[in-house]
Amino acid sequence: MTKSLMTSIKTERLLLRPHKQSDLADLHIYSADPEVVKFMQWGPNTEQQSRDFLSNCIAGQSIDEKQNYDFAVELVDNTGFPEARAGQMVGSISLRLPKPDAKLGEIGYCYARSTWGKGVASEAAEAVMKFGFEDLGLHKISATCDPFNFGSAKVLQKAGMRLEGFLKKHIYIKGIWRDTLLFGTAREDQAQNKVLYSNSQSATNLQKLQGQNGGASKHGAQRSFVADMFAQGEVIKIELEAGAELKARTPVLDEYCLVLEGTLTAGDETWGKNTLVHTPMAVQQKSMLAKEKSTLIIFRLGPDGADR
């Protein structure tokens, strides 16, 4: 397909299509709902504001070099949606590019309350992301949501995005500067991100990790992977034999080291059992020497500084 044309996307329960003038009544139902737009920078809409939004979406359909792909989300039938009707427009979802032919995109959406908790937002998000990756050749798609918009955060993760950032006081919404969560995925990471989300709630017995994911090195240090975190961070367990050393490095983001057992020295400092050592981002971490057999848990919030 060419970028100069709008398209329709059919999923199991939905039809994502260009907006039309007859959508106004359905669109205004949710855009005027204070609960629906609670975390939006706009709304609740007056009827004229809803009309203006609809007119802008329709006008954008004829633009040759597109940056914005705005889809009306229509129910194919209302099975499982007692408060909606077949053929009803129940929301909008957009894919926005910084410029025509860009390789990066961002999605945003809004849905009527009658669809909440029924998988509509995730179904539409996955369809639009597939369109972006396969039809437009995008490399990465991102999205933002309020930290307390738990439903939206679940939608983005279910669709294959991962949390990549936490932006403090980033968006001005209804008189308040609010924090923002940043989600995203590159095309090749989407499938694995879905797997991580489906297995997101788990318990790990740290004792069982001893000897796994990395054998003892000649330096007397043994590292075990525990968990992956956003921003390429990780949680690792490290077993150190007496005399083993963790070399100095500079963490990209903050890093925390919890001493579970043993004693470590770093310069003229000594860190014993139950000591929590914090190394701020971009500050060189001290070299740590194990005075006796020691066990550490390291919480790294970003990439390993040793890799940079």
Environment class of residue 143 by beta-carbon count within 10 Å: exposed (0-12), middle (13-18) or buried (19+)? buried
- The pLDDT score that the predictor gives to residue 3 is 46
Rounded to the nearest 10 degrees, the angle between the axes of helix 150-158 and helix 120-130 is: 40
Tell me how crowded residue 115 is: count the other CB atoms within 10 A of its CB: 24
- The pLDDT score that the predictor gives to residue 218 is 46
- The pLDDT score that the predictor gives to residue 214 is 45
Query: Which structural domains are found in the chain, ordered by start?
Result: 9-198 (3.40.630.30), 206-307 (2.60.120.10)
Q: Are 134 and 143 in contact (CB under 8 A)?
A: no
Cα-Cα end-to-end distance for the chain: 41
- The pLDDT score that the predictor gives to residue 202 is 63
pTM to 2 decimal places? 0.83
- The pLDDT score that the predictor gives to residue 276 is 95
- The pLDDT score that the predictor gives to residue 297 is 96
- 3 state SS of 197: helix
The H or E element spanning position 290 is strand 288-290
Q: What is the mean pLDDT of each run of 10 residues along the chain (308 residues)?
A: 68 97 97 97 97 96 92 94 93 97 97 95 98 97 96 95 93 95 97 85 66 52 86 91 91 92 94 94 90 95 72
- The pLDDT score that the predictor gives to residue 176 is 95
pLDDT by residue (tens digit) across 9-28?
999 999 999 999 999 999 99
Q: Are 125 and 91 in contact (CB under 8 A)?
A: no
Please name every residue paired with 14 in a beta bridge, in sequence order, or none if there are none.
75
- The pLDDT score that the predictor gives to residue 215 is 42
Report the alpha-carbon distance of residue 247 to residue 285 in Å, rounded: 9
